[in-house]
Structure 1
Amino acid sequence: MRRTVCAALAALLAIAATRPVAAAGTESEPAARPAANADYDIGKAAVEKGDFPRAIEALRRAVASDPRNANAFNLLGFATRKSGDPRGSLQYYQQALTIDPKHIGAHEYIGEAYLMLDDVAQARQHLARLDQLCIFGCKEHRMLKDAIAAHQKGIKPK
């Protein structure tokens, strides 16, 4: 057994020795990024700047190019909701949750969209799911819980 492990280790070291090593503190040339990732990055940056129309445009391209990107669908839902269309955002959050049922951001955001539509029961269902997913607590759970409490006081999320 020891001889087999030593032989495997020697083979791995031989392979590693043939590969170029970058100097400390430098990076190799990044590989070309797929258009879907570039569009996702553009959309994410636009969301961070509050430019929701630009975000929606870029994120629509991202999900068209990569229809399994739950994060892109989640951000598309966020940008749509923040543009004043909570009902339109639901389809994107639901798609994100179809791809990744444990996507905690999508659970929080869809709960907030339901609150904007005065559907507290649906928001509570997503809070319950976050309660299951966030065993030790998470900010998404706290934020949705706070949004539900605020809604009960007459304050709707934006």
Structure 2
Amino acid sequence: MSMSRLVLSMIAVLMMASPVMMPAWAAGGSDPAPVAKPADPNFTEGKKAIDAKDWARAIPLFQQVVAKDDKNADAFNWLGYAWRNQGDYPQSFAAYEKALTIDPRHRGAHEYIGEAYLKVNNLQKAEEHLKRLDSLCTFGCAEYTELKGKIAAYKAAKPS
């Protein structure tokens, strides 16, 4: 293709795209970005407690977060994680289920509830959440890889 044909082709593509792009250009870029809602200090402290594996400290902090914001799937997920690591599986499952009710696509909650099911020897439920992650993570994701690895280790440790 000659250089002039290439240039003409590029101009034609740009002209066809301009009506699509016009609303974005018309919106302008001079408006300030919306101000993000400040993070709940209890969430921040709860995450620090999780990182320190201080489950007893994390639980009441995340309970305070969800008491103020009962639609916070991330807080319910971390609450479930802390309860699971403390060995309270009924509370853990309830928190994960709440996170998944709020956000059925919450990959972290699918991974962690799958791991919790392995802890109570429910391989079938863990594999259900692995399948859900497989459908959510089109090109793979860390949560899928982690749960898949935990399921493989579980199967290796408990041969049928």
Tell me the TM-score normalised to structure 2 length. 0.75
For 1:153, what is the secondary structure of its paired residue?
helix
**CA drift at 1:9:** 7.8
Query: C-alpha deviations, 1:44-86, integer Å up to 9, x for none?
Result: 1110111111100100000000000000000000000011122
For 2:140, what is the secondary structure of its paired residue?
coil
For 1:102, what is the secondary structure of its paired residue?
coil
The amino acid of 1:111's aligned partner reads: G
Q: Indicate whether 1:140 and 2:147 are aligned.
A: no
- Give the counterpart of 1:86 among 66, 89, 109: 89
Percent identity between matched residues is: 45
Looking at structure 2, the residues matched to 132 and 61 of structure 1 have their Cα atoms a distance apart, in angstroms, of 33
- Bigger proportion of residues as helix: 2
Rg larger for: 2
- Give the counterpart of 1:121 among 121, 124, 127: 124
**CA drift at 1:153:** 1.9
Q: Is the 8 A contact 1:115 1:148 kept in 2?
A: yes
Query: C-alpha deviations, 1:68-127, integer Å up to 9, x for none?
Result: 000000000000001112232000000000000000000000000000000000000000
Partner of 2:98 in structure 1? 95
Looking at structure 1, the residues matched to 129 and 36 of structure 2 have their Cα atoms a distance apart, in angstroms, of 38
- How big is the alpha-carbon RMSD for the aligned residues of Structure 1 and Structure 2? 2.5
Structure 1 unaligned residues grouped into runs of 5+: 20-29
Looking at structure 2, the residues matched to 141 and 64 of structure 1 have their Cα atoms a distance apart, in angstroms, of 30
- Give the counterpart of 1:50 among 28, 49, 53: 53
The amino acid of 2:47's aligned partner reads: K
Structure 2 unaligned residues grouped into runs of 5+: 1-22
Q: Indicate whether 1:110 and 2:105 are aligned.
A: no
Looking at structure 1, the residues matched to 27 and 153 of structure 2 have their Cα atoms a distance apart, in angstroms, of 60
